Amino acid sequence: MRRGFGRGRRGPGLLATVARTAVVAGTATAVAGRVDAAQQAAAQRQQEGAAAQEQLRQMHLQDRIDSQVEARLAGAAQAAPPQAAPAPARPSVDELHAQLTKLGELRTAGLLTDAEFAEQKARLLA
């Protein structure tokens, strides 16, 4: 007498094996896609952070240079005999526009607060 009458052969059939393989392959593809997307997002955040740090470093460097120039000019003004002060040279409209545009970009990038932006803008327009 046969055991398991009507079961046919033992183990999963061809269709069940193909279906199981498709499910495993689909799951692996989905997981790999999510991992790749997460890695790309992390790399982009790192690049943006590095760019923001570079801009901040450039601003600090420019501030140090400006303060050194001001200090030397102040030292030279104290050493020189008092004379009639010449009128300060106004920057050209193109230079002023370029500086204001740069300030706007820094504020948009989040490197300047609105208060710092307003202060620098007032200094430029004064």
How confident is the model over 33-71, as pLDDT tens digits? 999 999 999 999 999 888 888 988 888 888 888 888 888
Per mean pLDDT, which of 33-37, 78-82, 83-87 is the most reliable?
A: 33-37
pTM metric for this prediction: 0.38
Query: What tokens does 61 get?
Result: 């460097």
In a domain, 47, yes or no: yes
Is residue 52 within 8 Å of 109, Cβ to Cβ?
yes
**Scanning the structure block, which residue is given the tokens 């500086």?**
99
Structural domain of residue 118, as residue ranges?
Answer: 92-126
In a domain, 32, yes or no: yes
Is residue 122 within 8 Å of 63, Cβ to Cβ?
no
Burial of 68 from C-beta contacts in 10 A (0-12 / 13-18 / 19+): exposed
Are 18 and 74 in the same domain? yes
Query: What tokens does 59 get?
Result: 């601003």
